[in-house]
Amino acid sequence: MAKDPGHSERWRTTVQADPWGLSGKTVLLTGALGGIGIVCAAAFADAGARVLLSDLPSPADAAEQLTAHRFGAENYLSCDVRSPAQVESILDDATDMLGAAPDIVSVHAGLVGSFPIEQYPIDEFDNLMAVNLRGSFLTACAAAQRWRTAGRPGNLIFTTSWVQDVPWPEIGPYAASKAAVRALMRGFARELAPHGIRANALAPGIVGVGMARRQWDSDPTYQARARRAIPLGTLQDPKSVADAMLFLASPRSAYMTGSTLVIDGGASLYPMD
């Protein structure tokens, strides 16, 4: 068979135009208005995916942030992931808006609190677990049920953290919740693989947004400890988290399920505190 001399060039052009293979894919991203989530949402949109953002604020309260990142109200669904009814509702709404359940669901919603471990308030502990663990479970279940009912594949991406393996002062319950989310992800991966549903996690390091950024900028002791803990020496750019999420969403990771992609600047190599 004669070779098509233009084949390689056409393939290269396609890859350059759609490097992640996500053009036309549909994505639901929970926790989308946080410092990492909004960067990931923008990255999905830039990759050609149709992305629906979900977070706790009402559409009116979220409007300014959505506009700043070139999203409109039609891209946003308000949801408290602690509520089974609200989670079911956003999956129903997403399915109606997209014409089918999203191809990819990024289970990203989460929160962190900082207290000495023996002084951690019980109500803060319960709320953290309700958002990080219960919310992840409810979201993943709702998505998986719709994929199975429709007889189609799906892709779950959970966000964990490098502290799932390495204790960090004053966020012990957060670390425990992320270790539990990793175990939960592996359960989804194991049971749903026969149905063409993948589940993986990404585990960022100390990302330069939110509480970590504020502590880095305002607390010299924290900054010194964090610098020692990160072999690469600097806070993580949230864009690196977005790149990892795009990879796990893309066909490039098609043979991965039950895996955790650690992107932490080497922080989990060994304790340095």
Q: Of the residues 174, 222, 239, 255, which is catalytic?
A: 174
CA–CA separation, 95 vs 28, rounded Å? 10
**Contact call for residues 248 and 261 (beta carbons, < 8 A):** yes
Secondary structure letter of residue 250 according to DSSP = S
Contacts of 88 (CB under 8 A, 6+ apart): 142
Is 178 annotated in the active site?
yes
Q: Of the residues 25, 76, 120, 178, which is catalytic?
A: 178
Is 174 annotated in the active site?
yes
Show the tokens assigned to 251.
């066909």
Q: Cα 143 to chain center, whole Å?
A: 15
Contacts of 216 (CB under 8 A, 6+ apart): 206, 208, 222, 223, 226, 235
Q: Facing residues of 51 across strands?
A: 27
Residues with a catalytic annotation lie at: 174, 178
